[in-house]
Every structure is written in structure tokens, then in C-alpha cells.
């Protein structure tokens, strides 16, 4: 993916052991298509060298406001004017305090102060010992920085270099990358709540065995990520899938269709958008044995009879809030043939304003897909692309339709 193509990012390093992760972060930003200009404080040079950062960013690193390489000798002006964002990672407790006070006695803080505040956002990935993190002074500084318009990316939790355990570790490079990519996405669902069902369900026969399907959950998780990137508060109700939860998304793990229905109904009570991507089992075994069904010597194989599962999408679409237009419901249809006709019929049967068709078996587990959006006006095709790219397009389509509703 090239989610940061065309973006120029100033990556600022301040003093902290997490500087070792900044090398990986720099690489990840470049790999995602960004150009990266590294600026380092003197304290950060105690932890990693400008040579490493120059090699990874493919640009000379700036460490001093007196750098004679700039014709006007004003790197604080030139570097900030050229950038789409300044990302401080790691940002030490000391550097936060300095930002709060508008300190300007070395290049990085000077550049942050001199940046055009309306057009060059400041993103901060703090890193420090847990006591320093929890200290009222740090928390006060964080609140002030947020009030001054900076975006605080949060911290990780766990073992720290000092041997203590708690909050304050710098986020991992891939988490920071995900946050930076999200930051640049248009906020078309800001303030909205979105609920997504994803993955298969598992319908138990006995404590060991059950019936499930090949859905990987990738499309649903991509939609959850895209909705979060668009500024929504997102919950994903997930059947058994082995996917990492997208940053900032609340995940509720369930197993059966009935569990998925109960979790979904609780989540959609306050939601604005519901997207049903889960491949819910249409039927479950009529009885679930409490004990493992044994292959007794010579006895005939057991017969399984089925009973119908609740239809989660249809149930939610019939709810009072959906009927009143407060909850916009989107269904998916995985078809093996006649996609357009089947998707149109399914949209009417489920009673939803928008139904997204795809060819089922060939997309399961894949990283890309191709979608057909069917609404009352007709059908629009979203050509083959990665599931995340399609998810972002779908989120934009949902936001547009909600705005018109
Ligand atoms: N769906 C659901 N609950 C079910 C079955 C389906 O919420 N018990 C949702 C899916 O998440 C999807 C849509 O309904 O958004 C269509 O699912 P699909 O399995 O294609 O539709 P079915 O109604 O099962 O139709 P059929 O199997 O006949 O194609």
C-alpha cells in the first residue's frame, strides 16, 4: 500500500531509549510512500546516531538551528513550511513540557513553535517511565498540548527499559504508522457510531466439534478500520477469526449466531450505522450435546438435524431506530452466481437501504475484492482493489448516503 504517497513528514526524535524504535518507524513511513525529514535533539543523539536515521530516510538529518546547509540559515522555518505533519516519536516528558511553554532554544522545539499551526499538524508519541507518565505534571502537559491542537497518539503498556511495568512505553512503529495513516483520512463519519459484524459463526455440535465456514473476517475488519479512520467510534462484533484488532476499534468476540445477535443488538442501540459483513450460519444443529459424541464400536453415524438461526441483519433492519432512519443498515451478499440479480433481491428481502454484493468463495481469505453497491437507485461497481481501499470507498458512500437521508 502507499497510504502516505505524496506526504512529507518531519520525524522529530527526542531523548529516550524508544529512539531505537524510531529507526523502524522511519522505514515504515518511507515504505508507505512518505518522504521523511528527520530532526533530532541533542539528547536523542545519546540513543541513536544521525547516520542511522540519514541512511533510513535517505536525507541528511538536522540537529541544530545553526545548520549552515540552509541558504538562509533558518531550518526551523524551511523544514516546517515544507511538511504535511510533524511527528515527534519518541516525545520525552521534558520535550512535552518544553512544547507547552513554547521553548525555542534548540531546533526541534523552535521548529514546532514556528510551524504554521493551522496547516502543519503536530502528532506526538510519548515515551517515558510509568511514574513520569502518571505524574500530574505530565498529564497536565498532555491536556494542554491537546488544547493547543496537538494530536496525542497515546502510549503502550508493559515492560519498560528501566525494569518496571506499566503505561508509558512508546507505541510500536506499526501502531504509530496506522495512526498516522488514519490521521490523513477524511473525517466523513466524525462523531458517528458504527457497528460491524465480521467473520464466520461457529455452531457447536458437541464440546469438540461444530459447523463453521471459510469467512476470514478481513472485509469486516477493513471496514471497521476505515470507519475508525473516518472519525467514527467503532465496535466490531467478531466471530472466531485470527486477525489483529484495528487501532482504536472496540472488539467483541462471539462464537454462535445467537451470541452475535445479542452482542449486536446491544451495540446498535446507540449506533448511527450498522454494517453486516459476517458470514452467519443460516442453521445450527437442533441439539448440542453436552458431551463429546463418541464413535461407539459398530453404531451408525449420528444424524444431525438443523434449526434456523436468527437473521441478524434483518432483525436489526426491522428495529424502530432503523425504520425511523436513525440507524443506516448495510448488508453484504456473498453469491456464487448472478450477483446483480441476487444482490438486488436480497436488498429488498432484508429491507436495507444499501446492499454490497461480492462473489463469495473467491474472496474469502483474500486481501483484495471487488464490490457491487446496490441501492434503490441501481447498482454501482467498485473495481478490484485491496479490501482496505474498498472499505474506505464504501465508508465514503455510506457517509454520503447518510448525509442525504
Ligand atoms: N446475515 C445475518 N444473519 C444471518 C444471515 C445473514 O446478519 N443469519 C447477513 C449477513 O451478514 C449479510 C446478509 O445478511 O450482510 C446476507 O447474508 P447471506 O448469507 O448472503 O444471505 P442469506 O439471507 O443467508 O441468503 P442466501 O443464503 O439464501 O443467499
What nine digits make up the cell of 81?
513550511
Claim to verify: residue 22 and residue 103 sit in the same structural domain: yes
Claim to verify: residue 178 and residue 31 sit in the same structural domain: yes
Return the residue whose CA atom lies nearest to atom 27 of ligand 1. 282
Max intra-chain CA distance, the chain: 92
Specify whether the CB–CB gap between 311 and 276 falls below 8 A. no
Per-residue pLDDT, averaged over 11-16, amounts to 98
CA of 239 to the centre of ligand 1 (A): 14
Claim to verify: residue 164 and residue 216 sit in the same structural domain: no
Claim to verify: residue 209 and residue 242 sit in the same structural domain: yes
d(CA 167, CA 180): 21
Task: Mark out the alpha helices in 19-135 (DSSP H runs).
Answer: 19-31, 50-57, 75-81, 93-100, 107-114, 130-134
Instruction: List the one residue out of 25, 30, 22 whose CA is nearest residue 3.
Output: 30
CA of 379 to the centre of ligand 1 (A): 19
The number of domains in the chain is 2
- Cα dihedral 338, 339, 342, 348 in deg (nearest 10): -150
CA of 217 to the centre of ligand 1 (A): 15
Ligand 1 pocket test target in 278, 355, 374 with most atoms within 8 Å of CB? 278
Helix axes 387-404, 218-229, angle to 10 degrees: 60
Claim to verify: residue 56 and residue 157 sit in the same structural domain: yes
Q: Is the dihedral of CA 132, 134, 136, 139 positive or negative?
A: positive
Q: How far apart are the first and last CA of the chain?
A: 33
- Locate the ligand 1 atom nearest the alpha carbon of residue 331 and give its number: 15
**Which of residues 184, 203, 225 is at a domain's end?**
184
CA of 191 to the centre of ligand 1 (A): 29
CATH, residue 283:
3.40.50.10300
In what helix (H) or strand (E) does residue 147 lie, and over which residues does it extend? helix 136-147
d(CA 85, CA 118): 11
State the average pLDDT for the chain: 95
**Whether 26 is catalytic:** no
Claim to verify: residue 233 and residue 317 sit in the same structural domain: yes
| Residue 298 domain flag | yes
**Which of residues 184, 201, 218 is at a domain's end?**
184
Which residues are CB-neighbours of 403 under 8 A, at least 6 positions away? Answer: none
Q: Is the dihedral of CA 336, 338, 343, 349 positive or negative?
A: negative
Q: Report residue 80's pLDDT band, with 50, 70 and 90 as the boundaries.
A: very high
Q: Report residue 364's pLDDT band, with 50, 70 and 90 as the boundaries.
A: confident
- Locate the ligand 1 atom nearest the alpha carbon of residue 349 and give its number: 23
Claim to verify: residue 227 and residue 150 sit in the same structural domain: no
**295 has pLDDT over 90:** no
Return the residue whose CA atom lies nearest to atom 12 of ligand 1. 332
In what helix (H) or strand (E) does residue 339 lie, and over which residues does it extend? helix 339-350
Claim to verify: residue 166 and residue 269 sit in the same structural domain: no
Give residue 100's pLDDT: 98
Residue with cell 549552515: 68
Instruction: List the one residue out of 36, 47, 59 whose CA is nearest residue 127.
Output: 47
Residues lining ligand 1, judged by CB closer than 6 Å?
A: 197, 257, 276-278, 280, 282, 309, 311-313, 331-334, 346, 350
Other beta carbons within 10 Å of 221? 26
160 burial type by CB count under 10 A (0-12 exposed, 13-18 middle, 19+ buried): buried
Q: Report residue 83's pLDDT band, with 50, 70 and 90 as the boundaries.
A: very high
Weakest-pLDDT range from 42-46, 199-203, 365-369, 371-375:
365-369
What nine digits make up the cell of 183?
490521521
Claim to verify: residue 265 and residue 176 sit in the same structural domain: no
| Residue 3 domain flag | no
- Locate the ligand 1 atom nearest the alpha carbon of residue 356 and give its number: 15
The pLDDT tens digits of the residues spanning 231-255 come to 999 999 999 999 999 999 999 999 9
Weakest-pLDDT range from 111-120, 200-209, 295-304:
295-304
Which residue(s) pair with 36 in the sheet? 9
Q: Report residue 404's pLDDT band, with 50, 70 and 90 as the boundaries.
A: confident
The pLDDT tens digits of the residues spanning 135-167 come to 999 999 999 999 999 999 999 999 999 999 999
Claim to verify: residue 262 and residue 373 sit in the same structural domain: yes
Cis before 90 (ω within 30):
yes
CA of 348 to the centre of ligand 1 (A): 13
d(CA 236, CA 253): 8
Long-range CB contacts for residues 71-78, cutoff 8 Å, separation at least 24: 75/107, 75/111, 76/107, 76/110, 76/111, 76/113, 76/114, 77/114
Claim to verify: residue 178 and residue 204 sit in the same structural domain: no
Give residue 367's pLDDT: 87
| Residue 1 domain flag | no
| Residue 2 domain flag | no
d(CA 131, CA 126): 13
Higher-confidence residue of 403 and 228: namely: 228
Claim to verify: residue 274 and residue 247 sit in the same structural domain: yes
What 8-state DSSP symbol labels residue 62? B
The pLDDT tens digits of the residues spanning 167-223 come to 999 999 999 999 999 999 999 999 999 999 999 999 999 999 999 999 999 999 999
Specify whether the CB–CB gap between 232 and 248 falls below 8 A. no
d(CA 353, CA 348): 9
Q: What is the pTM assigned to this prediction?
A: 0.94
**Which of residues 184, 205, 222 is at a domain's end?**
184
Which residues are CB-neighbours of 135 under 8 A, at least 6 positions away? Answer: 93
Q: Report residue 334's pLDDT band, with 50, 70 and 90 as the boundaries.
A: confident
| Residue 376 domain flag | yes
Q: Under DSSP, is residue 281 helix (H, G, I), strand (E, B) or coil?
A: coil
Among 63, 91, 112, 162, which one carries the catalytic annotation? 162
Specify whether the CB–CB gap between 265 and 315 falls below 8 A. yes
Ligand 1 pocket test target in 237, 262, 282 with most atoms within 8 Å of CB? 282
Return the residue whose CA atom lies nearest to atom 17 of ligand 1. 333
| Residue 374 domain flag | yes
CATH, residue 172:
3.40.50.1950
| Residue 335 domain flag | yes
Return the residue whose CA atom lies nearest to atom 16 of ligand 1. 333
| Residue 232 domain flag | yes
Specify whether the CB–CB gap between 67 and 73 falls below 8 A. yes
d(CA 355, CA 317): 12
Q: Domain limits at 219?
A: 193-404
Length of the chain, in residues: 405
- Locate the ligand 1 atom nearest the alpha carbon of residue 309 and give its number: 8
**405 has pLDDT over 70:** no
CA of 332 to the centre of ligand 1 (A): 7
Amino acid at each position: 500500500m502507499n497510504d502516505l504517497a505524496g506526504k512529507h513528514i518531519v520525524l522529530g526524535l527526542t531523548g529516550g531509549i524508544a529512539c531505537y524504535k524510531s529507526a523502524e518507524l522511519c522505514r515504515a513511513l518511507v515504505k508507505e510512500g512518505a518522504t521523511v525529514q528527520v530532526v533530532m535533539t541533542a539528547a536523542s543523539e545519546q540513543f541513536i546516531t544521525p547516520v542511522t536515521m540519514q541512511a533510513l530516510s535517505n536525507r541528511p538529518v538536522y540537529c541544530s538551528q545553526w545548520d549552515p546547509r540552509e541558504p538562509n540559515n533558518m531550518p526551523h522555518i524551511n523544514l516546517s513550511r515544507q511538511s504535511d505533519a510533524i511527528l515527534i516519536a519518541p516525545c520525552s516528558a521534558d520535550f512535552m513540557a518544553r512544547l507547552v511553554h513554547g521553548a525555542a532554544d534548540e531546533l526541534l522545539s523552535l521548529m514546532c513553535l514556528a510551524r504554521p499551526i493551522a496547516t502543519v499538524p503536530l502528532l506526538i508519541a510519548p515515551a517515558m517511565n510509568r511514574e513520569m507518565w502518571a505524574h500530574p505534571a505530565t498529564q497536565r502537559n498532555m491536556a494542554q498540548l491537546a488544547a493547543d491542537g496537538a494530536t496525542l497518539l497515546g502510549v503502550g503498556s508493559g515492560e519498560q527499559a528501566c525494569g518496571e511495568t506499566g503505561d508509558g512505553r512508546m507505541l510500536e512503529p506499526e501502531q504509530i504508522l496506522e495512526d498516522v495513516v488514519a490521521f490523513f483520512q477524511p473525517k466523513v463519519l466524525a462523531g458517528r457510531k458504527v457497528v460491524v459484524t465480521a467473520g464466520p459463526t461457529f455452531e457447536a455440535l458437541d464440546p469438540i466439534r461444530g459447523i463453521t465456514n471459510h469467512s476470514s473476517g478481513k472485509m469486516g475488519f477493513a471496514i471497521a478500520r476505515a470507519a475508525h479512520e473516518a472519525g467514527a467510534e467503532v465496535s466490531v462484533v467478531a466471530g472466531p477469526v485470527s486477525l489483529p484488532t484495528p487501532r482504536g476499534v472496540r472488539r467483541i468476540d462471539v462464537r454462535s449466531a445467537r451470541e452475535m445477535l445479542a452482542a449486536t443488538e446491544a451495540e446498535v442501540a446507540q449506533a448511527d450505522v450498522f454494517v453486516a459483513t459476517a458470514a452467519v450460519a443460516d442453521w445450527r444443529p437442533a441439539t448440542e450435546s453436552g458431551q463429546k459424541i463418541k464413535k461407539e464400536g459398530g453404531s451408525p453415524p449420528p444424524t444431525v438435524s438443523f434449526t434456523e438461526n436468527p437473521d441478524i441483519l434483518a432483525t436489526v433492519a426491522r428495529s424502530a431506530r432503523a425504520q425511523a432512519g436513525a440507524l443506516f443498515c448495510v448488508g453484504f451478499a456473498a453469491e456464487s452466481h448472478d450477483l446483480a440479480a441476487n444482490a438486488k433481491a436480497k436488498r429488498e428481502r432484508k429491507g436495507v437501504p444499501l446492499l454490497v454484493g461480492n462473489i463469495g468463495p473467491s474472496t474469502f481469505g483474500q486481501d483484495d475484492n471487488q464490490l457491487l453497491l446496490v441501492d434503490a437507485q441501481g447498482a454501482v461497481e467498485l473495481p478490484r482493489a485491496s479490501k482496505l481501499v474498498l472499505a474506505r470507498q464504501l465508508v465514503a458512500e455510506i457517509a454520503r448516503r447518510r448525509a442525504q437521508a
